[in-house]
Each structure stands twice: as C-alpha cells, then as structure tokens.
Amino acid sequence: MNREDLEAELDAAGFPGATAELDPTSSEAQSDEAVATATEHPRPLEGEKLVAALETWVTNDWCEDWNQLPNRDELLCLARKKPEFAYATEQHMRDLRAKFGTEESKRGGRPRKPG
C-alpha cells in the first residue's frame, strides 16, 4: 500500500490528516505542543533510578524535620502525583520510612507514657 492509498483509507475511515503524524518533517508532528508535552511528562523511573530519586525527594522535602515524614499511604499518594514516581509502590514507601523515619514518627499514635 502506498502513501496515497493509506491517506485515502484513513480519510474514508474518519481520520483526515492522520498521516501527518507519520511524517517526521510535518509541522503537525513537530508542533511545539507535542514537544512541551514530552518534556512536561517524563517517563516513570524504574529500579535503582526510582529508589535513588525517591530518596532524594524525601531527603529534600523532609530533612528539616523527619518527624513530619508522612505515613506510608500519604507518602505514596504524594509520590504518585509526580509522573516520574508512577511506579512507586507501598514497599518503596515502607523502605523510605524505615531508612529516614524517626522512632517517634514510625511509632505513630499517642506518645507513650514513661515507665
């Protein structure tokens, strides 16, 4: 099938101009909006890169007061708001809290009475 046949078939199917996306030199394919979207939404991190980025994020946001480190569920919700942390799991949050959380923040609930 040549390009003209493909264009005609796509036009008939209700997708006029769809072949512009196939042409890398097309102005539609190279629009500023497409470039902006690609840079605004980075690919989710995986593996060791994800773990390192999560540790950096937690350190930058809560190093002033580790007692303010959110619980696992809140931390996961905050992380998943960032596109690069889309693959973060509860286990990642447990590991972060185990590494960075204070005994007080890990314990949660009311303070224990001495004795």
DSSP letters for 15-75: -TTGGGGG-TT-TTTT-HHHHHHHHHSPPPP-HHHHHHHHHHHHHHHHTT-GGGPPPHHHH
Residue 14 lies in a domain: yes
Residue 26 lies in a domain: yes
- Identify the pLDDT of residue 17: 64
Query: Quick one: 17 and 56 in the same domain?
Result: no
Q: Which domain holds residue 64?
A: 47-107
Query: Quick one: 36 and 52 in the same domain?
Result: no
Residue 65 lies in a domain: yes
Query: Quick one: 102 and 51 in the same domain?
Result: yes
Query: Quick one: 15 and 64 in the same domain?
Result: no
Number of domains in the chain: 2
Distance CA 55, CA 44 (A): 15
Distance CA 79, CA 60 (A): 13
First to last CA, the chain: 83
- Identify the pLDDT of residue 2: 75
At residue 6 the predicted structure's pLDDT band, cuts being 50, 70 and 90, is: confident
Residue 21 lies in a domain: yes
What's the rounded mean pLDDT across residues 66-76? 92
When mean pLDDT is compared across 2-6, 20-24, 67-71, 100-104, the lowest value belongs to 20-24
Query: Quick one: 60 and 8 in the same domain?
Result: no
Query: Pick the residue with more confidence: 108 or 103?
Result: 103
In this prediction the pTM is 0.59
Distance CA 59, CA 93 (A): 13
3-class DSSP state of 81: coil
